Amino acid sequence: MPIVTWNDTYSVKVKEIDLQHKKLVDIINELFDAMKAGKGNTVIDKLLDELVKYTKYHFSAEENYMRKFKFDQSDIQEAQHKQFVAKINDFIEQYKANRLTLSIEMMNFLKDWLINHIVKMDKQYSALFTWNGLK
């Protein structure tokens, strides 16, 4: 059973961004499944690296649109994005140094941050992005 199940309440009404959000949900679910199954460090390391890379890619895409369309909350969004990436990088560093284990608490953090960020922050740009032609 996945830790995050996508539903339409998370949609920002922009297909490209929704697909990126769904990909992040998929990575988090894969990581959760690997943790539950007791997969080795090789599998988990690969998924954590994928999460960081894809998160940076997604944030860059969002931030480019925010700047292009002059979204008035872009500074707040970018600060939250940087904080999240720093938190994940810190977690990975501790995990790879065997100072931290992948836990349900960390998985809940990933899930909660992503869903709360989409619902509370990303939905704020939805109308602006669609008004500017993104569908």
- What residue numbers bound the domain in which 80 lies? 9-131
Residue 33 lies in a domain: yes
- What CA–CA distance (Å, rounded) separates 94 from 86? 12
Residue 3 lies in a domain: no
Query: Do residues 52 and 93 make contact, with C-beta atoms less than 8 angstroms apart?
Result: no
Residue 2 lies in a domain: no
pLDDT in tens, 106-131: 899 999 999 999 999 999 999 999 99
Output the pTM of the full model: 0.94
Residue 100 has pLDDT above 80, yes or no: no
The CATH number that applies at residue 43 is 1.20.120.50
- Torsion on CA atoms 59, 29, 4, 125, rounded to nearest 10: 10
Q: What is the number of structural domains in the chain? A: 1
pLDDT in tens, 56-78: 999 999 999 999 999 999 999 99
Residue 22 has pLDDT above 90, yes or no: yes
